[in-house]
Amino acid sequence: VPATKAPRFDFRPAVPDVSMFPRRAWLRSVRQAIGSATDADLGYGDPRGVETLRRALADYLGRVRGVVADPARTVVTSGYTQSEGLVCRALAAAGARRIALEDPSDPEQRETAARAGLEVVPVGVDEGGIRVDELERTRADAVVVGPAHQFPTGAVMAGERRSELLAWLRSSDAIAIEDDYDAEYRYDRAPVGALQGLEPGRVVYAGSASKTLAPALRLGWLVLPAELVDAVGHEKHLADRGTARIEQYAFADFLARGELDRHLRRMRVRYRARRDALVDALHEAMPEVEVEGIAAGLHVTARLTDTDDERAIVDEAARRGIALESLDDYRTAPGSGSPTLLVGYGQSADSAIRPGIARLAEAIEAARGRA
Ligand SMILES: Cc1ncc(COP(=O)(O)O)c(C=O)c1O
């Protein structure tokens, strides 16, 4: 899809519905932040973030995600992407050499780890999350996982798999980075708690406002094992001397007022309805396609038939004004698994779901006809 032309039907998987950004509540918090900031608050301050936000985050994460959080071990960052880079650099500086990443996962996560000087080893993912049996063969010093809702497969790490992973962390003296980017969006039940809550000394918790509020905020956070706090704080200082502080004060106020909870309650209802509509439309228009994964997040994975060419389908869809992605965009070895589309509903207006999916079905038929 040309960057200059917005797709008519936007089913990209990673984008939230920013049209619902709580502008008024955020503005109120920004006003409050600027109005009450002292002269000292306008200096550089602690690169790990402003104290009021670290306290508010520790409260929120303990309450909502079961994170064992403490403001002294909490670092505010400019998003998950920066968080991963900071932790990888801190680990590399302490002697780590190798890091395992889920396959499939965002290739930029692999690149971020590699740029920090770590050797990246891909490890497979099944319905239960990362394959710990494969992980055991890597001799990695660290691993990145998405236990609550792995991106892009949508797998949830089940209890037994969590125990195996924690046993591996202990026996290998390794660290896990937990990417908890969209865990608040679970529609069928309360989300599973964070892995970090089970082993706070070996799991780095990483969260982000990009899915819950908007990517434009560039706000993320880490809750670290005590031994990593100074090293990550130093990396953060070297990276940018700290995330924009006025936004941090604003976010602290926003959290303290319960605005994030309120926004999430509203969005869960909306996304759940949209997901249901999308799943119904997919079943109706393409009964041969299997919708996989739990009722969570901002996209569904739709498994095509084995003879389908997922790239040809994505290209054909783009020609017809439909933007979406396929699992191959995230695999280290394209073509190595069942052809699967990633169909996002964050950006798609409710009224566009049915016609968009009908059009996608036409694109699939056309791609099949050409094969
Ligand atoms: C798997 C995953 N983790 C984390 C993020 C959030 O990254 P950031 O906080 O840098 O915007 C994203 C955003 O698309 C993502 O897809």
Task: Give the model confidence (pLDDT) of 210-243 as tens digits.
Answer: 999 999 999 999 999 999 999 999 999 999 999 9
CA of 208 to the centre of ligand 1 (A): 7
Residues with CB under 6 A from ligand 1: 14, 79-81, 106, 151, 179, 181, 208, 210, 215, 220
Ligand 1 atom having least distance to the Cα of 219: 9
Query: Half-sphere exposure (CA, 13 Å, Cβ side) for 9?
Result: 27
Dihedral of CA 48/50/51/54: which sign?
A: negative
| Ligand 1 probe mutation, 17, 84, 88, 151, most atoms within 8 A of CB | 151
Q: What does the pLDDT average to over 61-68?
A: 97
**pLDDT cut 70: percent of the chain above it:** 99
> Which residue's C-alpha comes closest to atom 14 of ligand 1?
14
* pLDDT value at 362 more than 60: yes
Q: What is the mean pLDDT of residues 77-90?
A: 98
pLDDT band at 6 (very low <50, low <70, confident <90, very high): confident
Between CA 75 and CA 39 the distance in angstroms is: 22
Answer whether 64's CB lies under 8 Å from 89's CB.
Answer: no
The confidence band for 275, taking pLDDT boundaries of 50, 70 and 90, is very high
Element (H, E) at 129: strand 129-130
List the residue whose alpha carbon is closest to atom 2 of ligand 1.
181
Q: Are 123 and 143 in contact (CB under 8 A)?
A: yes
Of 110, 179, 210, 218, best ligand 1 pocket probe by most atoms within 8 Å of the beta carbon:
210
Q: Residues 80, 85, 89, 92: what is their CA dihedral angle, to the nearest 10 degrees?
A: 90
SS3 state at 123: strand
Q: In sequence order, what E strands does 137-247 have?
A: 142-145, 175-179, 203-208, 220-223
Cβ atoms within 10 Å, residue 212: 19
What is the number of alpha carbons within 13 Å of residue 188 lying toward its C-beta?
A: 8
Q: pTM for this structure?
A: 0.96
Nearest atom of ligand 1 to the alpha carbon of 79: 9
Cβ(81)–Cβ(239) under 8 Å?
Answer: no
* Alpha carbon separation from 336 to 100, 103, 132, 186 (Å, rounded): 19, 11, 20, 29
CA–CA distance, 95 with 87 (Å, rounded to integer): 12
Residue type, 40: A
Supply the mean pLDDT for the chain: 96
For 132-181, the pLDDT digits (tens) are: 999 999 999 999 999 999 999 999 998 999 999 999 999 999 999 999 99
Residue nearest to atom 13 of ligand 1 (CA): 14
Short-list 30, 40, 82, CA closest to 220: 82
pLDDT of residue 4: 55
CA-proximal residue: ligand 1, atom 16 (nearest): 14
Distance 288 CA to ligand 1 centre (A): 31
Q: What is residue 180's three-state secondary structure?
A: coil
- How many angstroms does the Cα of residue 157 sit away from the middle of ligand 1? 18
Interior/surface letters 71-97, b for 16+ CB within 10 angstroms, e for the rest: bebbbbbbbbbbbbbbbbbbbbeeebe
pLDDT over threshold 50, residue 29:
yes
> Residue for token digits 């069928």?
188
Bridge partner residues of 98 (DSSP): 119
Q: Which two tokens stand for residue 39?
A: 């002269």
Q: Identify the pLDDT of residue 190.
A: 87
Q: Whose CA is nearest to atom 7 of ligand 1?
A: 80
pLDDT of 19 over the 70 cut: yes
Whether 3 has a pLDDT exceeding 70, the answer reads no
How far does the centroid of ligand 1 lie from the alpha carbon of residue 228, in Å?
A: 22
What element of type H or E holds 125? strand 119-126
Residue 15 has pLDDT above 70, yes or no: yes
State mean pLDDT over 288-310.
94
Measured in Å, residue 109 CA sits from the centre of ligand 1 at: 9
- With cut-offs at 50, 70 and 90, classify the pLDDT of residue 1: very low
pLDDT of 79 strictly over 80: yes
